[in-house]
Structure 1
Amino acid sequence: MNATCIFYDRKDYPDGAITELTIWQVPAPVPGSAHGLKYSLFYGYPGQRLVGYDNERGKGDHRHIGGREEAYAFTTVETLIADFIADVRTFRGAP
């Protein structure tokens, strides 16, 4: 069984920034994660990540804020997306 994309969304901002969210259902957890999802949530400019959430093989669930990387406690897809959007809004200076 292959990975199946269960969520995709992209938004282009007038200033050239983008958000791109992709979540896949995978047949077995990615090493370092305890759930059956693989995800990549990106905010930034082409070639410049400002906010990112992912579960890279071996690293598990983590997020990137500016130049900082830290562990992320994954609970649900809905919370993952809400946390990402909140960080993007904070980074953009929006309420």
Structure 2
Amino acid sequence: MNAKLILKRRDVLDEHRFTEAVIWELTQPLPGSAHRYKYRLAYVVDGVCMVRYDNESGKGDHKHLGADEQAVAFTGIADLLRAFRRDIENWRP
């Protein structure tokens, strides 16, 4: 499967925290997803991933908030990034 990298970014927020976003456009959807994107969005604090959005093959679109995992509705990349930022702003360990 051919893929085109459309975003790869790491933002260091301070010495303890960073965000990372990697998004690929695929030629066909992954199993479990209805769109042609593969993504991984992560918010890491002191080496521990606190918030993660991803769509690993077979699981579909979902997010991890600490130890909790829940499905998300994919409505587009911009919406996905907004939801990710909102979850980071609202994160309470």
TM (norm. structure 2) is: 0.91
Which whole-Å deviations, capped at 9, do the CAs of 1:6-58 have from their partners, x for residues lacking one? 11221112142110011100111010000000000000136411000000010
* Corresponding pairs, count: 93
CA RMSD, 1 decimal: 1.7
* Structure 1: runs of 5+ lacking an equivalent: none
- What secondary structure is seen at the aligned counterpart in 2 of 1:57? coil
Name the CA shift for 1:64/1:25 in 2 (closer, same or farther; >3 Å).
Answer: same
- What secondary structure is seen at the aligned counterpart in 1 of 2:91? helix
Determine the structure 2 residue equivalent to 1:18: 18
Which whole-Å deviations, capped at 9, do the CAs of 1:46-89 have from their partners, x for residues lacking one? 64110000000100000001110000100010000000001011
Distance 1:52 1:46 in 2: 15
Distance 2:72 2:61 in 1: 5
- What secondary structure is seen at the aligned counterpart in 1 of 2:28? coil
Determine the structure 1 residue equivalent to 2:55: 55
Show structure 1 runs of 4+ deviating over 3 A. none
